[in-house]
Structure 1
Amino acid sequence: MVVRYVCGAVGVGLMGVGVWLIVRTGTFWDVLVWLVGAIVLHDGVIAPLVLAVGLLVAAVPARGVVRGGLIVAGCLTLVALPVMVRPGVPPNPTALPLDYVRNWLVLLGVVAVGTVGLVVGRRLYQRRRRS
């Protein structure tokens, strides 16, 4: 119970620091536009897309493996997306020398092949076990 109150107090304090920084730097409108955009993007695009994919995956016989593959692909996208959509050239070109879009697509392909491999491997194992 004490830990809950301490964590809550730290969270409220950090929110206060964030508000103070926004007011001090004068970026209130920029932050407001970003927050509204994030809400619209999440509620208008991402959430309906995830629900639609979830409905499609529910009909797949090996839905557990497919869900796992989709979760891994989503995590890879969340990690790579900020670097891929960053405008302009990085200040230090040696910091990000790799082609992130190509490598992201390669990793998504590896995840897809691994997912299909798991599904096929499980089916073959089940058939062999039955006979």
Structure 2
Amino acid sequence: MRTANRLRYALGGLGVLMIGTGAWLVASEPDPAGVLLWLAGALVLHDGVLAPVVLAVGLLLVGRRYRGVLRAALVAAGSLVLVTLPLLVRPGEPPNPSALPLPYGRNLTIVLVVVAVGAGVSILVRRRRDAPQRDGEDG
């Protein structure tokens, strides 16, 4: 058997083992239906909202001069929002008072502004670098 086939079978077996572990953990939950509902909601949100938005933004960036900078800024901003969103939309007080000691909404806004400003500065620096140099003549 070739090494690639061995690796493929090993990874496939590991995947089946992980699926089994996940199913066992869901079944051992006090409310497995709630977990499955949450997973279904996450799937619908990803495939119905997030993926089409990412594809649409990608189509809007086609042919843009500084699309690499824009993509990097959008990936950073999207990742920050996805990490922070569960903390922002969770209803009620956290079970652990130290879980949310800071104003996450304000801090997320500040970090998103920093990402936008960083992308803007990067684009301005690249424009200035790429601009044709004048030799000082006033025409």
TM class, shorter-length: 0.7 to 0.9
Instruction: Determine the structure 1 residue equivalent to 2:18.
Output: 14
> Is 1:112 aligned to 2:116, yes or no?
yes
C-alpha deviations, 1:74-123, integer Å up to 9, x for none? 12112212212222212222332111111111000000001010101111
Report deviation, 1:10.
3.0
Aligned length: 130
- The amino acid of 2:23's aligned partner reads V
Question: Which secondary structure state, in structure 2, belongs to the residue aligned with residue 90 of structure 1?
Answer: coil
> Is 1:92 aligned to 2:88, yes or no?
no
- Same amino acid, percent of matched pairs: 50
Report deviation, 1:72.
1.1
* More displaced stretch, 11-20 vs 68-77: 11-20
In structure 1, distance between residues paired with 2:64 and 2:33: 45
TM-score (norm 2): 0.79
Decide which structure has the larger Cα Rg and report it: 2
Question: Which of 77, 96, 101 is residue 105 of structure 2 equivalent to?
Answer: 101
> Is 1:65 aligned to 2:89, yes or no?
no
More helix by share: 1
In structure 1, distance between residues paired with 2:29 and 2:107: 37
Q: Where does structure 1 lack aligned partners over 5 or more consecutive residues?
A: none
Report deviation, 1:4.
4.3
- The amino acid of 2:70's aligned partner reads V
Q: Where does structure 2 lack aligned partners over 5 or more consecutive residues?
A: 135-139
C-alpha deviations, 1:12-43, integer Å up to 9, x for none? 22321222232333533223322321222122
In structure 1, distance between residues paired with 2:31 and 2:16: 20
Q: How does 1:14-93 map to 2 (within 5 A)?
A: 14-25=18-29, 27-93=31-97
- The amino acid of 2:76's aligned partner reads V
